[in-house]
Structure 1
Amino acid sequence: METCLHAAFVSQIEPKNVKEALTDNCWIEAMQDELSQFQKLHVWDLVDLPKGFEPIGTRWVFKCKTDDRHVVVKNKARLVVYQLDVKSAFLYGKVHEDVYVTQPPGFEDPHNINKVYKLDKALYGLHQAPRAWYETLSKHLLSNGFDRGQINSTLFIRKAGGDILLVQVYVDDIIFGSTNEGMCREFEKMMKSKFEMSNMGELSFFLGLQVSQREDGIYLHQTKYVQDILSKYKMSDSTTYGTPIPVNHGLHPDKDGKDVDSRLYRGMIGSLMYLTASRPDIMFAVCLCSRFQSQPKESHMIAVKRIFRYLKGKPRLGLWYSKQQSFDFKAYTDSDYGGCNLDRKSTSGGCQFLGDRLVSWQCKKQSTVSVSTCEAEYIAAASGCSQILWIQQQLRDYGLNFTGTPLFIDNNATMSITNNPVKHSKTKHIEIRHHFHP
């Protein structure tokens, strides 16, 4: 019964254009809500267009907002600029240039049909909008006792005694947490005094990531996203594989192979790349297949579809962060040797842990051709060392200091060279990389 009542007040279908939206009361109400925010925040003024200026076009974007169960919870109509949560976050940012936009389609003033709106605040889609919003938000936070992160400028920290409050900003979404619940309530009150905000409650869904908070830890996964891309690329009913890629994959340019739709191929790769935010198990396979985006062949498409079939069999895999384990910081690196069939460059892999919690991972083809297994391992180690230094700096923003982080590498080739003096004269390039390591 509750679902039926909800559906009666929320449209389940996104309109294709404004003409279609104006026939549905749910979407008319959504558009009126958007324009009422403009009026409330003094976003614009209706004026005559000055000589020498061209107005920027506007259009409506319609979106059915869903939760992690795919249930439509809100109809969102947004007026955006043709230049391609905090409620209407960008509308708080002050615009310092003269910008004029056309009147909203379907909501033109019949008595001033030739007039345009002069923007006083930023509008979604305007190039200045993100900068203007961030400037407004950061000034408010800094004036209320927050410090900006030294490495991540979108991280804000406030300390009080032995407690800490962390605020992470991603465009118009804000997540925050503290060792003291009272600091969270104080932060919410402080934000609502300046901005119109809606508290989404305990973090459970953010930028496609599903967050399951439990007493003994936190589980991050993208099960909903996996289901969405399987459906999008018609792989929901496919057979499953136990691994994303065979050990001896043999992928190469395949110049004589049959061409496939490059746009479709790149779309599938892009979808998978976003999934690697919580699925390191597909990282290598996705990076390997991404090397053939310019001229994808049928053999490459088969490899990509195998990744989707693997996801079909393991849709709920994710990352577990336990509350009870230690916070020892350690890292691992490895590489293959001349594994790329395109140019015989090696691939570096690395991962970093806090205790047993995986916090960062990388997979990237090396920029130069390694002439030995040992050199390939040292290049991977140098890259891993750079990542360690970056993470150490980042953790200092959180009040954590790590020095002497152990880096575990495959050093069999190094030991072989050490035991063979004949090879020492050919290792200057390796010695240079060795001295990079702190």
Structure 2
Amino acid sequence: MTPNPLPSILGPIPLISPSPFRPHNPEPTPEPINPEPIIMPLSPTNPEPNLPQPRPNQPEPTLPQPSPHLNPISSNSLSSQNISTVPPAPPPENPAPPPANPAVPLPSHPMQPRSKSGISKKKCFATSTTIDYLQTEPPTYTIASKFPQWHEAMASEFAALQRQHTWQLVPPSSDQNVVGCRWVYKIKRNSDGSVSRYKARLVAKGFHQQAGVNFAETFSPVVKPPTVRIILSLAAQNRWSLRQLDVSNAFLHGLLKETVFMAQPLGFVNSTLPSHVCHLHKSLYGLKQAPRAWFERFTSHLLTLGFKASVADASLFILSHGSVTVYLLLYVDDIIITGNSSTAVSNIISQLSDAFELKDLGPLRYFLGLQIDYKKGGFFVHQRKYLTDLLHKFTMTDCKPASTPIATTPLLTSTSTDLLSDPTPYRSLVGALQYATFTRPDITFAVNRVCQFMHKPSPAHLVAAKCILRYLKGTLDRGLLFQLGPFALTAFTDADWAGDPCDRHSTSGIVVFLGNNPITWLAKKQHTVSRSSTEAEYRSLASGAAELAWIRQVLCDLGLFLPSAPLIWCDNTSALALASNPVFHGRTKHIEVDYHFIRERVVRGDITLQFISTDDQLADVFTKALPSPRFHRLCSKLLVCSTDHQFEGG
């Protein structure tokens, strides 16, 4: 066996003895110590140290050098640390020849930085996304003018303005209050979300107008939600068809009574008269008086066709000629028309088309966010698309559904000092939820509660509003079913006495049925504090009687008369006794007005009062937050699920 030459080259390996000043470790870890260089004796023939001589034609071996940052340890320092050394072994008589290439190469690695290889990569600090303005409304004219679809929509709108003789170009003067204008773009979509058409509208900047100079009256009535539900209920009970109409550029048909000047629209400035302004003869979208001018124009034309306006709702028009009956509902430029004669309905549509640019959209399918599905026995009305868009707007499409729209505890209060830094999203959400109650009476009380904190919303209020969205996420298939039933009015009234923890005001809850169809409901906070539960229930009873009186007036305008007096169900025996008992004493003087209002209608036979147990009181869902089992039991009598019924065409 060839002896290893390293001990003779590196010298003796020191052994470290345990120190008496530290605990003994049976397996101590030796500290790295540089060996002391060994000085070999000089020979007479070789003045250099006695090292192995290199062979001819071979490079000299390179000895491993100690690390430059480690200092050699002298023998004195070793002895001072109680380190014993072993004397070096004598060199062998016949040392083994050194290896063929004893040189140790310098450490190297095949990997190297990209900079040395000449590779460079640009850093991207921001990513730019391209917006598809054929799926999103463009914000400015500059962007819209680059797309042929939007340019065609603007040209169509401008051509309609020219056909209607909306304005006349006149020279400008210093005494004119010139109103600006701009283009507004809207993508009209079908109920399934697909693009129906691209709409561009020229809108006047009404905020440039001055009161008393170029506008006066601005109020314009719109149809009330209960009126729409009454017409749907009557159409379902009589099996009438519903037709939908849309008036193109409705506001352009209104005639202006005031003098209004407007700048020429972008992209359509007259090249021969570029400095002239538009003297408006007809109303334009954006003007403060435009809705009123259009309503007066359309109403006056309907009167010439034989229609009469309803006393209870100015947007409801009735045509009664012999045995022919036609009802027409107007909501700005959207129209619903129905009647017992399809021929008469078609004739009226033809007459309206002669006076206005009218589009017949066929059977009623999608109206003001309401989706109407036809069933063999009636109509199923829901807002699935509207609610889905609402969930997407507030990034709640993947949220976990809630079992109820509002929790029973804790109660919402306005005493929190931790307010939202930006209340705009909260107000936008609550406003959108208010319209969702059009077909969802089950969220009426929850929406009423969150509406009471619009002025100073807190994070707790935002959580409560999002809880309503979570509930809607799990009940998108719920809606109202308008079907056949008896022609009778039935109401349920209830009150939650002193339910508000802040001011101890009570909450009234009312729901009214026409046959089997709910047509109106409300959850309303009472204006004053009630001193007893009887007083709170009696005020709710008075509100229900007032609602029934209005509905009876609508039915009377429609030429319909109830075979029996409306029935009100109340679960408070004291309130019923107070309404039926003619004795009026001091304990009820503070509700004298409500007392006489109810008492007069009971005596005349306009309403009938009956007692109902609290367990069966449907109006209880509009007065307070309920536990999940009771909440769902009451809601099952108000709403239906789309999967529970078979619809025509589906």
What CA distance in whole angstroms lies between the structure 2 residues aligned with 1:92 and 1:190? 16
Aligned residue among 459, 479, 497 for 1:318: 479
Q: Cα offset for 1:176?
A: 0.5
Aligned with 1:27 (options 150, 153, 162): 150
Determine the structure 2 residue equivalent to 1:45. Answer: 168
1:297-324: CA deviation from partner (whole Å, max 9, x where unpaired): 22211111111100000012111100x2
Contact persistence 2:538–2:575 (CA under 8 A): no
- Deviation (angstroms), 1:431: 5.5
Question: What does residue range 179-328 of structure 1 map to in structure 2 within 5 Å?
Answer: 179-257=340-418, 259=420, 261-322=422-483, 324-328=484-488
> Cα gap change, 1:311/1:131 in structure 2, threshold over 3 Å: closer, same or farther?
same
Tell me how far apart the structure 1 counterparts of residues 324 and 178 of structure 2 sit (CA, whole Å).
50
Partner of 2:193: 70
Query: Match of 1:354?
Result: 514
- Going from structure 1 to structure 2, the CA distance change for 1:87 and 1:425 (only over 3 Å counts) comes to closer
Q: Counterpart in 2 of 1:387? A: 547
Structure 1: distance between partners of 2:134 and 2:283: 29
Matched, 1:398 2:558: yes
Q: Tell me, yes or no, if the aligned pair for 1:57 and 1:101 is still in contact at 8 Å.
A: yes
Change (3 A) 1:116 1:432: closer
Provide TM-score, normalisation by structure 2.
0.63
> Is 2:255 aligned against 1:94?
yes
- The residue that corresponds to 1:120 in the other structure is 281
SS in structure 2 of the partner of residue 120 of structure 1: strand
In structure 2, the CA distance between the partners of 1:32 and 1:398, relative to structure 1 (3 Å rule), is same
- Mapped pair 1:436 → 2:436: no
| Residue 411 of structure 1, CA deviation | 1.4
- What amino acid maps onto 1:82 in structure 2? K
Write out per-residue CA displacement over residues 149-203 of structure 1, whole angstroms, 9 at most, x where no aligned residue: 1221121111132231011111111110111100111011111111121111111
Provide the rounded CA distance (Å) in 1 between the counterparts of 2:181 and 2:262: 7
* Cα deviation, residue 338, structure 1: 0.6
AA paired with 2:555? Answer: L
Residue aligned with 1:236, SS: coil
**Corresponding residue number in structure 1 for 2:159:** 36
TM, length-normalised to structure 1:
0.93
In the alignment, does 2:468 pair up with 1:345? no
**CA RMSD, Structure 1 to Structure 2 (Å):** 1.9
In the alignment, the residues of structure 2 paired with residue 30 and residue 97 of structure 1 have an alpha-carbon distance, to the nearest angstrom, of 29
Question: Deviations for 1:312-348, whole angstroms, at most 9, x for unmatched residues?
Answer: 00012111100x2111111111010111122110000
Identify, as 1 or 2, the structure richer in helix. Answer: 1
Residue aligning to 1:80: 203
User: Do the aligned partners of residues 236 and 404 (structure 1) sit closer, same or farther apart at CA in structure 2, a change above 3 Å counting?
Assistant: same
Give a deviation string over 1:234-266, Cα, whole Å, max 9, x none: 111110111101234422124244645311111
Which deviates the most, 427-436 or 122-131? 427-436
What residue is the counterpart of 1:142 in the other structure?
303
- AA of the residue aligned to 1:58: C
Corresponding residue SS for 2:469: helix
Q: One-letter code of the match for 1:62?
A: Y
Q: Distance in 1 between the 2:576 and 2:341 partners?
A: 51
In structure 2, what residue type is equivalent to 1:148? A
Q: 1:55 aligns with which of 158, 175, 178?
A: 178
Whether the aligned pair in 2 keeps the contact of 1:253 and 1:341 (CA below 8 Å) is: no
Cα 1:184/1:249, change in 2 over 3 Å: farther
Query: What amino acid does structure 1 have at the position aligned with 2:543?
Result: S
User: Matched residues in 2 for 1:215 and 1:153: separation?
Assistant: 32
Q: Which residue of 2 aligns with 1:376?
A: 536
The 1:352–1:53 alpha-carbon spacing in structure 2 relative to 1, beyond 3 Å, is same
Counterparts of 1:309 and 1:11 in 2: how far apart (Å)? 31
How has the CA–CA distance of structure 1 residues 75 and 432 changed in structure 2, closer, same or farther, with 3 Å as cutoff? Answer: closer
Q: 1:332 matched to which residue of 2? A: 492
**Residue of structure 2 in register with 1:17 after alignment:** 140
Structure 1 distance, partners of 2:201, 2:395, is: 30
Query: How far off is 1:275 after superposition?
Result: 0.6
**Counterpart amino acid of 1:60?**
W
- What letter corresponds to residue 431 of structure 2 in structure 1? G
The count of aligned residue pairs is: 424
C-alpha separation in 2, matches of 1:352 and 1:284 = 16
Q: Is the 8 A contact 1:241 1:306 kept in 2?
A: yes
Cα distance change of structure 1 residues 427 and 95 upon mapping to structure 2, 3 Å threshold: closer
Q: Quick one: structure 1 residues 405 and 416, their matched pair in 2 at CA, closer, same or farther if it must change by over 3 Å?
A: closer
> Displacement of 1:430 after TM fit?
4.5
Shift in CA distance, 136/425, structure 1 to aligned 2, threshold 3 Å? closer
Moved more, 94-103 or 425-434: 425-434
The aligned amino acid for 2:449 is L
In 1, Cα distance between equivalents of 2:180 and 2:266:
10
Q: CA deviation at 1:41?
A: 1.1
370-379 or 140-149, larger mean C-alpha shift = 140-149
Structure 1 letter corresponding to 2:137? E
d(CA) in 1 for partners of 2:381, 2:190: 16
Aligned to 1:103: 264
Report the identity percentage.
Answer: 39
> In structure 2, how many angstroms separate the alpha carbons of the residues matched to 1:197 and 1:414?
53
Between 397-406 and 19-28, report the one with greater CA deviation. Answer: 397-406
Determine if contact 2:401/2:471 at 8 Å carries over to the other structure: yes
Amino acid at match of 1:295: K
Give the partner amino acid of 2:179.
I
Q: Residue 132 of structure 1: which of 290, 293, 296 is its match? A: 293
Q: 1:425 to 1:237 in 2, by over 3 A?
A: same
Name the larger-Rg structure: 2
Question: Is the 8 Å Cα contact of residues 570 and 576 (structure 2) preserved in structure 1?
Answer: no
Distance 1:18 1:380 in 2: 53
Which of 359, 364, 373 matches 2:524?
364
Return 5+ residue gaps in structure 2 as ranges.
1-132, 208-245, 602-650
Cα gap change, 1:13 to 1:428, in 2 (>3 Å): closer
Q: Is the 8 A contact 1:335 1:347 kept in 2?
A: yes
Cα distance in 2 for residues equivalent to 1:185 and 1:302 = 50
Q: How does 1:422-433 map to 2 (within 5 A)?
A: 425-430=586-591, 432-433=593-594
Moved more, 373-382 or 101-110: 101-110
* Whole-angstrom distance in 2 between the partners of 1:194 and 1:118: 23
